[in-house]
Amino acid sequence: MSKKITVVGTGYVGLIAAIGFADFGNQVIGVDIDKEKVDKLNAGIPPIYEHGIHDYLERNLKSKRLRFSSDIASSIIESEVIFIGVGTPPKDNGDVDLSQVENVINEICKNLNDYKVIVTKSTVPVGTNKWIKEYIKEKTNSDNFDVVSNPEFLREGKAITDFFHPDRVIIGYESEKSKEILKDVYRSLYLVETPFVWCNYETAELIKYANNAFLATKITFINQIANLSETIGADVNEVAKALGMDGRINSKFLHAGPGYGGSCFPKDTKALVQIGAKYGVNMSLVKEVINSNELQKIRMVKKLENVLGDLKDKCIAVLGLAFKSETDDMRESPAISIINELIKNNCKIKAHDPKALNNAKKLFGDKIIYCKDSLEAVKDADALILVTEWNEYRSLDLNNIAKLVKQKIIIDTRNMLSPKKVKELGFIYEGVGRK
């Protein structure tokens, strides 16, 4: 049976969930306090760049199963299931800022007119769902509601595909009634036999952090192996390929590079360390992953310095600003640390990215030069540093670039180019872990 759902928050998590649940056949209201965003969404304009989102948004708006509103009270009153998909950014000390979640909970308390299931999709520290349950009970003097934890595992750029084809769905729950309702909400996935993990709140909450911290650790591990490969004369691509052939390890998330970034791994690793500290458990491995990842970003600049010598007043072309390809998102992108380090060294920076230039302008203002394509960026550059693995950079016009640059130096932080071909054109080439 289709359900009446409100999803609060129309960022990456909330918006994809709202569209996805509507596509499953539910009646969905996506709520956001940003009226301008709501108007755009109702007009079929997605506020984020995400593959396939436009078609799905349009299709579900047309079917009238989906609409957007900034009226949180009436949306809650109308709905049986409330998904919380608002931001949970890190505070300066690494703790999670739960103020947006708290605001939504307070709205729910004020508008709890009938039985409702409140589902946390935002990533929240262990203990939050239990707290939400106790808080609502105390505030409303009612237990005509259930709380469910349903963490999200979407990758940016592949969020739509991930939503419709998840490896598994995690549901932390306490009552059978809420379990049956969640089965209805996810009915389409249930019918195609997606694995569902039914567990308690704490388990669901920890799965999310453990998952992201494990992947961040896997990347950091291969980055350290890459650094060792450089020194001893091994090729990290071959090492990673062989590791990946071991079914127990698998080949994913073994691409050496400039360090992980994005909205999840940096935030969730830090939060896991804080959660450990709160309960007196030393998450020393995760702490070291965080440190090592910071060093990896700066190591990319050191590579440049090793080849170029003093960086002062050098002109550097930075190709790629987003934290990974297929997104305009620059949150915690290695490009930020790299550019800041170059600015510290008084370099002139000419940057290009197929999608992230607008976000870069918000971060760097007039401190760097923004270029419409890679050729404009490399003109008169002393070196070129590739930071994001955009497909268009795999087929760079190297013949032309060789004529435009001042010095033929390429730092390929994603191992995208063929060192042989690049060197044939007279470039000095530095990859990661492939001496």
The residues annotated as belonging to the active site are 264
Instruction: Kindly tell me which residue out of 14, 125, 262, 431 binds ligand UDX, with binding defined by CB under 6 A.
Output: 262
CA distance 361 to 355: 12
CA distance 119 to 130: 12
Interface region with ligand UDX, contact rule CB under 6 A, candidates 19-27, 76-84, 154-162, 425-433: 154-162
Give me the 169-188 binding string for ligand UDX, x by CB under 6 A, dash otherwise.
--------------------
Decide: is 430 part of the binding site for ligand UDX (CB under 6 A). Answer: no
Instruction: Kindly tell me which residue out of 186, 209, 265, 390 binds ligand UDX, with binding defined by CB under 6 A.
Output: 265
Closest approach, Cβ 325 to ligand UDX, in A, equals 8
Interface region with ligand UDX, contact rule CB under 6 A, candidates 3-11, 188-196, 254-262, 378-386: 254-262
Instruction: Kindly tell me which residue out of 125, 257, 354, 433 binds ligand UDX, with binding defined by CB under 6 A.
Output: 257
Decide: is 260 part of the binding site for ligand UDX (CB under 6 A). Answer: yes
Closest approach, Cβ 383 to ligand UDX, in A, equals 21
CA distance 155 to 168: 14
**Closer of 26 and 327 to ligand UDX (Cβ):** 327
Decide: is 212 part of the binding site for ligand UDX (CB under 6 A). Answer: yes
Instruction: Kindly tell me which residue out of 28, 66, 76, 154 binds ligand UDX, with binding defined by CB under 6 A.
Output: 154
Closest approach, Cβ 323 to ligand UDX, in A, equals 4
Decide: is 267 part of the binding site for ligand UDX (CB under 6 A). Answer: no
Give me the 309-348 binding string for ligand UDX, x by CB under 6 A, dash otherwise.
--------------xx------------------------
Interface region with ligand UDX, contact rule CB under 6 A, candidates 257-265, 276-284, 287-295, 378-386: 257-265
CA angle 291, 269, 285 (to 5 degrees): 55
Q: Which residues bind ligand UDX (CB under 6 A)?
A: 152-156, 212, 215, 219, 253-255, 257, 260-265, 323-324
